[in-house]
Structure 1
């Protein structure tokens, strides 16, 4: 039987993930919209946003960054060798260690919550302090659940099973949406006044959010069992696996450490500006950007990762270069489309979020500049994965870390340059613009560093034929975005419904135009990537 071409494998996996992710991201956007309407941007929302960030950052620093890029190449080596018992033993040991370590960290987080909250600007104020501590203690339960999610997701993706990991966040969103609706009903309009919001409503919000994380992780046990993966409590990893895991984990941890530092710095700078609702508004803007990122970028890069890892493990360097270059062209073009769409639709998006309790002043500026950062962010994600698949772990770690380190430093500079006086004068729009511009500039630094490392380590064929097509896409979609910004309506002139309609219109026009350009520019690549499998099937 003929083996399915690698690029076709990537395309098939990307298509599966794109369809699943589209549904999930729509649910995610509905979730954020429900949060905006039922929780708001001030009062309870500020305590909730700050407390919810802490376990996410801790998880990424302690385990998420180490495991996200390590599991697929580590487990793929066992699949290629046909050593499925070693596969099961390895994933069992990693799961055991991950859950136990994160559970212990969760206990420490719950105990230390009062001291941690004191370090966070604004929510350390007396009116928000007690509520933030309560949220943080409940959210500490989420840590081991996140660990289960990332380990099982890695196991499934290594076996090229993408549907369940892609759909699991949708189950989580459904649980959290129901939580927000119930909280809003119980709060009865008191969300902005922490002193009078019912305690029962707060408990529903805290524990319902945690139940959403359980829905993200525990259902993955179903496809894991169906895939024949045998999980048993186990502590021992082989010496070879320990070395490989340490190598890959170090690369992932370096990037994620600086990424989470940048996330925390952003929260601190926005809260320190003293503008009520600035950080929740930033989160809502990022939620919109992540819909585009998740639907357009993540499926291609995630589907490429195990396929490229198998190609490298099988020493098929020509196929690796071919598939890597094709994936890069797809990522670059699609990222430009996403970026220009966000720039065009920024004002209508803010209008759509007009139902938010407390308002979302400055959201359009955050959406536009964060949209621009989609291009370097997508390149960073993909090029980092290419280097990991080629076992260039140090280069991947350094390149990814450089982008987030630059972003964090520039956000600090933006906060210092703006200052409290400048933030007060310019309002939320000014501080959000500064932070978004700084983040975008930092990601550009990362893309330059990673691109240079890929070119030096893997050669210039990875970039062959990329730039002319990208410039064409930029010219067409950029022109449309500029026309939308110059001639389109402002957020203040739009209602919630018309904001949604204008956003959909801009996305449709730019998407259709971009699809035509991409089809003309890389029609040969499209034919290769959509090539179907003549016979046989993928398998170890």
Structure 2
């Protein structure tokens, strides 16, 4: 029997330092993203407040987000990064590039096919009793279907961008992916400022498409830096791609149930609660998510590629140390942040958003 080699103090310290440094980069990037996100929310609040058209946008956004989450969001990152990292460490860059290309091509085809079907049946998905807007007026239902079709375009772009994010994380590069969410917010801000005066809420939807394009574009230099090459092959018989699919499957089911309960059910019930309720829920959820995004997501993004590399090395002891340290850091930072948000919620909402179309009633709703 072989004795398992445990990391010495210097190795453990080096690992902790690397995770902490990566987390700091991600946290700074996410802090910038949160700042841009708050500016985005303020611009939207001033222009649309808690109006019926923002209810329509909120409802329409749920299905594209559900599609992205299932096929190209957390489920894919969970499955892709460990296999891709293992190929980088134990095989060759060519093998890793081949898997990257196969995942990009497969996910894009799945999103394209699913998005096309969803676009065709958008009116039914809105108006059916089990749909996302059964209690909206006819005009709002038509608007919701139109917005959904536009936002499905951004989902296809995000699918590619998220795979590139995973590849860059596997290479222990976090700066460009950390900046990408700010670019998404910038696109929406431009849509709200430049397009919405002429197109109304539709301008906001096209801003989201622009933001998705910017989210992808800012990460493209990482392709050249790390020599990540794309080719058009599908490789559906490749064992590495099949392992990604096997790892994805249970996570897809888990995320489907979680996101459906958040987005679909909220939209279905919220459409009958009166004007502004869905929009208010959107503002509240995004504010509530701020501490988690800044703290939990930053540390999780930073530690996961390291955990994947340690798994490839079968270093269980180091994995436990990295996970334990990360959980302690999350608890130490997130609990005080949550308490502050609870205590200062209403004054914070009024300070951030109460202007223009966002009235005192909107503050109370949120």
Secondary structure, counterpart of 1:54 in structure 2? helix
Q: Which moved more, 1:284-293 or 1:84-93?
A: 284-293
- Could you tell me which residue of structure 1 aligns to residue 34 of structure 2? 25
Determine if the alignment matches structure 1 residue 357 to structure 2 residue 357: yes
Secondary structure, counterpart of 1:234 in structure 2? coil
Match of 1:55 among 30, 53, 64: 64
Q: Distance in 1 between matches of 2:145 and 2:297?
A: 34
Of structures 1 and 2, the one scoring higher in RCO (CA 8 A, sep 6+) is: 2
Q: Output aligned runs, 1:344-493, within 5 Å.
A: 344-352=343-351, 353-355=353-355, 357=357, 359=359, 361=361, 428=365
Match of 2:43 among 30, 34, 37: 34
Is contact 1:90-1:237 (8 Å) kept?
no
- Could you tell me which residue of structure 1 aligns to residue 4 of structure 2? none
Determine if the alignment matches structure 1 residue 81 to structure 2 residue 90: yes
Q: Output aligned runs, 1:201-220, within 5 Å.
A: 201-220=200-219
Q: Output aligned runs, 1:280-291, within 5 Å.
A: 280-291=279-290
Q: Deviations over 1:470-490 (max 9, x none)?
A: xxxxxxxxxxxxxxxxxxxxx
Q: Deviations over 1:450-485 (max 9, x none)?
A: xxxxxxxxxxxxxxxxxxxxxxxxxxxxxxxxxxxx
Is contact 2:102-2:241 (8 Å) kept?
no
Is contact 1:48-1:135 (8 Å) kept?
yes
Size of the aligned set, in residue pairs, is 351
In structure 1, runs of 5+ residues without a counterpart are 187-199, 365-427, 430-540
Determine if the alignment matches structure 1 residue 102 to structure 2 residue 111: yes
The structure-2 alpha-carbon separation of the partners of 1:231 and 1:239, relative to structure 1 and needing over 3 Å to count, comes to closer
Is contact 2:48-2:358 (8 Å) kept?
no
Secondary structure, counterpart of 1:233 in structure 2? coil
Tell me the CA shift for residue 362 of structure 1. 7.6
- Could you tell me which residue of structure 2 aligns to residue 515 of structure 1? none
Q: Distance in 2 between matches of 1:124 and 1:242?
A: 43
The structure-2 alpha-carbon separation of the partners of 1:360 and 1:296, relative to structure 1 and needing over 3 Å to count, comes to farther
- Could you tell me which residue of structure 2 aligns to residue 91 of structure 1? 100
Determine if the alignment matches structure 1 residue 327 to structure 2 residue 306: no
- Could you tell me which residue of structure 1 aligns to residue 121 of structure 2? 112
Q: Deviations over 1:196-236 (max 9, x none)?
A: xxxx4454333222111221223322212221111111110
Is contact 2:187-2:209 (8 Å) kept?
no
Is contact 2:106-2:234 (8 Å) kept?
yes
- Could you tell me which residue of structure 1 aligns to residue 150 of structure 2? 138
- Could you tell me which residue of structure 1 aligns to residue 18 of structure 2? 9
Secondary structure, counterpart of 1:305 in structure 2? helix
Q: Distance in 2 between matches of 1:219 and 1:50?
A: 29
- Could you tell me which residue of structure 2 aligns to residue 240 of structure 1? 239
- Could you tell me which residue of structure 2 aligns to residue 168 of structure 1? 180
Q: Distance in 2 between matches of 1:16 and 1:309?
A: 19
Q: Deviations over 1:317-358 (max 9, x none)?
A: 222222211111111111212211111211212322222625
Is contact 2:196-2:203 (8 Å) kept?
no
The structure-2 alpha-carbon separation of the partners of 1:208 and 1:323, relative to structure 1 and needing over 3 Å to count, comes to closer
Q: Distance in 2 between matches of 1:6 and 1:237?
A: 36
- Could you tell me which residue of structure 1 aligns to residue 170 of structure 2? 158
Normalised by the size of structure 2, how large is the TM-score?
0.89
Q: Output aligned runs, 1:495-510, within 5 Å.
A: none
Secondary structure, counterpart of 1:5 in structure 2? helix
Q: Which moved more, 1:173-182 or 1:245-254?
A: 245-254
Q: Distance in 2 between matches of 1:143 and 1:212?
A: 11
Is contact 1:61-1:253 (8 Å) kept?
yes
Larger-Rg structure: 1
Is contact 2:60-2:132 (8 Å) kept?
no
Match of 2:189 among 171, 177, 183: 177
Tell me the CA shift for residue 308 of structure 1. 1.3
In structure 2, runs of 5+ residues without a counterpart are 1-9
Is contact 1:50-1:132 (8 Å) kept?
yes
Is contact 1:100-1:144 (8 Å) kept?
no
Is contact 1:88-1:229 (8 Å) kept?
yes
Is contact 1:148-1:218 (8 Å) kept?
no
Q: Distance in 1 between matches of 2:88 and 2:57?
A: 42
